[in-house]
Chains A and B, each alone.
Chain A
């Protein structure tokens, strides 16, 4: 039989009981989670009233407990790859900076929402200074997004078609436009 108990206020626990290790706190950071089954407090009148119930006091004020159906949210592979890149670079002399990671994450999430399964194979590589290079290829066409390590440095987009090239300041919408017009619909 397992006995879960809190740390007694006295130094001597009751005979026959051993003190267990406290449970580790889970630090939830990712916005992508696996399937969960969650009991949620909702206010009386839900869903016609705002969902803003957080405490036992809310329950005492008439909130009801409902069961929320689990939904499976799968992280897009390219986001998983970005996290892997950050891990790989963690022990190098120039780890991926927070700025470069979040800017790349924002672009890839945006591209994934807009293009979904049409998003072409994406190559992520460290620039060796803490920044990230994102690239897409199709035959002799190459789209590059250069995300620098720090916010003071400007991100830019480089496009190469055969021997011709062009360079422009970075914007997410520009990247999507080029992906659609050059890489996806040649």
Chain B
């Protein structure tokens, strides 16, 4: 998959699809926001945002906002930020993915790495 251009997109945005990902009272972000589900290959992000109440660019039924990430800082963690494959059936020019996060980690070392990354991304 092609690398996302960090000069053009210095920031990427993670849609907040669960209201419990952000605790308003303590102003803390749950690690759940940066943890992969078993069926994920990477963390879905948007390259630009400008959502309104009527239009959700992330295509979500429920969306509560977005977390802002610095593209180069994400790469500095040893992670990749890549665009969708242009010929993929679900291609979106505004969609990118943070990859190289351990997928379905089994060992404690892999789980720890995944949790460390979730901490760094929060």
Which A residues are within 8 Å of any B CB, using their own CB?
85, 88, 94, 121, 123-129, 133, 135, 137, 142, 144, 146, 156, 158, 160, 165-167
User: Chain A: interface secondary structure?
Assistant: strand
Inter-chain CA distance A94–B39, complex, in Å, is 11
Inter-chain CA distance A126–B35, complex, in Å, is 10
Interface size class, chain B: 20 to 34
Tell me whether A133 and B115 are in contact (CB under 8 A). Answer: no
| Chain A residues, Cβ within 8 Å of B108 | 156, 167
Tell me whether B115 and A167 are in contact (CB under 8 A). Answer: yes
8 Å CB contact of B32 from A94, A121, A125, A158: A125
A-contacting residues, B1-54, CB 8 Å: 18-21, 23, 25-26, 28, 30-33, 35, 37-39
Which B residues are within 8 Å of any A CB, using their own CB?
18-21, 23, 25-26, 28, 30-33, 35, 37-39, 108, 111-112, 115-116, 119
Tell me whether A133 and B30 are in contact (CB under 8 A). Answer: yes
Tell me whether A129 and B20 are in contact (CB under 8 A). Answer: no
| Chain A residues, Cβ within 8 Å of B111 | 156, 158, 167
| Chain A residues, Cβ within 8 Å of B20 | 85, 88, 123-126
Tell me whether A158 and B30 are in contact (CB under 8 A). Answer: no
8 Å CB contact of B25 from A121, A126, A142: A121
